[in-house]
């Protein structure tokens, strides 16, 4: 079956760095997405990786290793507004998104 | 990015009744997706709504329970029929938006449904 694993919850301090990991097993691979979802709101797109390596976008970076079925989202200079759930999703061979359960990130002052 | 609206934004319904959720997109799209997100869980795809043909349902979801309409390329409805408390969830519509090789999905604001 298809499976996406990510930690349920993480806590970090304002101004620090946090890395949220995601491992996946899917039938085919057409890219990995990270979405941010604030409580009570819809998910919003953060990043997309289809080739191995690191993609940097401001304070957020996303890394992919296809051979390991592994990705991480790196958040730098954490701000209180970064408190949210972070969803990892993989697009399979049918171009369908398979979603992880999300990682709830709690930022403390 | 696409602008997607949903109606209603939230509702509280009685067991056994039905609710129709509307999704409107500001541009024409071929596919629209309907998701459910139960409390504390990730998104689960209910069905893909295709204009001019029957919706494609995922395992565990059936047309009698979740009938979908797609009358044109900018609009779709999802009906949650004969509701039970287990149907309490956030229902989201989304559309893919290609940008080069990226097939990113944009989400509507969601409909928060509570069934008593």
Query: In 3D, which of A16, A8, A7 has the Cα closest to residue A74?
Result: A16
Nearest to A102 among B42, B103, B105 (CB): B42
Residue B99 predicted with pLDDT over 60 = no
pLDDT digits (tens, 9 = 90+) for B23-82: 999 988 888 999 999 887 889 999 999 888 889 999 999 999 999 999 999 999 999 999
Band the pLDDT of B1: cuts 50, 70, 90: low
B107 CB neighbours in chain A (<8 A) are: 42-44
pLDDT digits (tens, 9 = 90+) for A43-75: 998 999 999 999 999 999 999 999 999 999 999
Q: Do B42 and A101 touch (CB under 8 A)?
A: yes
B112 CB neighbours in chain A (<8 A) are: 40
Q: Do B108 and A95 touch (CB under 8 A)?
A: no
What's the whole-number mean pLDDT along residues A25-49?
92
* A38-73: b (≥16 Cβ within 10 Å) or e: eeeebbebbbbbeeeeeeeeeebbbbbeeeebebbb
What per-residue confidence (pLDDT) applies to A105?
Answer: 98
What per-residue confidence (pLDDT) applies to A95?
Answer: 76
Q: Do A101 and B109 touch (CB under 8 A)?
A: no
Q: B10-13 and B111-115: which strand pairing?
A: parallel
Interface test with A, best of B31, B40, B104 (most A CBs within 10 A): B104
Distance between A43 CA and the closest CA of chain B, angstroms:
7
Q: Which residue has the higher pLDDT, B35 or B105?
A: B35
Band the pLDDT of B96: cuts 50, 70, 90: confident
What per-residue confidence (pLDDT) applies to A41?
Answer: 87
What per-residue confidence (pLDDT) applies to B57?
Answer: 95
Distance between B42 CA and the closest CA of chain A, angstroms:
4
Q: Do A31 and B44 touch (CB under 8 A)?
A: no
Q: Nearest residue of B to residue A4 by CA position?
A: B42
Q: Do A41 and B109 touch (CB under 8 A)?
A: yes
pLDDT digits (tens, 9 = 90+) for B12-26: 999 999 999 999 999
Q: Do A99 and B43 touch (CB under 8 A)?
A: yes
Distance between B39 CA and the closest CA of chain A, angstroms:
10
Degrees to nearest 5, angle at CA B51 with A42 and B7: 35
Grouping H, G, I as helix, E, B as strand and the rest as coil, residue A102 is coil
Take residue A37 and report the two structure tokens written for it.
Answer: 């979802």
């Amino acid at each position: 079956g298809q499976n996406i694993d990510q930690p349920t919850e993480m806590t970090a301090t304002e101004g620090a760095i946090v890395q949220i990991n995601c491992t996946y097993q899917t039938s085919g691979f057409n890219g990995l997405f990270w979405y941010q979802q604030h409580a009570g709101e819809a998910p919003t797109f953060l990043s997309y990786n289809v080739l191995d390596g690191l993609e940097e976008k401001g304070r957020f970076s996303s890394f992919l290793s296809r051979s390991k079925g592994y990705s991480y989202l790196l958040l730098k200079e954490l701000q209180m507004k970064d408190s949210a759930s972070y969803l990892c999703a993989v697009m399979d061979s049918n171009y369908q998104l398979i979603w992880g359960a999300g990682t709830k990130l709690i930022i403390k002052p | 990015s696409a602008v997607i609206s949903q109606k209603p934004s939230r509702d509280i319904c009685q067991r056994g009744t039905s609710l129709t959720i509307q999704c409107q997109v500001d541009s024409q799209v071929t596919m629209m997706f309907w998701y459910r997100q139960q409390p504390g869980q990730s998104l689960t795809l209910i069905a893909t709504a295709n204009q001019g043909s029957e919706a494609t349902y995922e395992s565990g979801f059936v047309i009698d329970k979740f009938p979908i309409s797609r009358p044109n390329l900018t609009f779709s409805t999802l009906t949650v029929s004969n509701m039970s408390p287990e149907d309490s969830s956030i229902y989201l519509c989304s559309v893919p938006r290609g940008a080069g090789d990226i097939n990113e999905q944009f989400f509507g604001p969601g409909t928060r449904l509570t069934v008593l």
